[in-house]
Amino acid sequence: MAKPNYQFEKRQKELAKKKKKEEKLQRKAGSRGADDEGEAGEPATNDETPAAE
């Protein structure tokens, strides 16, 4: 019986996790360009407003 290669399995799992995270970031970046109103569940913020004096 062959011995399991845990390092290979761990590396494959890490690569899959990294790929999924990158895809999610790309989807978020793409939706930000398309949604100006922040429809993704995040409130739209306006950082350019002057501070009240």
11-45 pLDDT, tens digit each? 999 999 999 999 999 999 888 776 554 455 555 56
Q: Using DSSP, state whether 30 is helix, strand or coil.
A: helix
| pLDDT for 41 | 56
Taking the whole predicted model, whether its pTM rises above 0.75 is answered as no
Whole-number Cα distances in Å, 8 to 3, 5, 14, 22, 29: 12, 6, 10, 21, 32
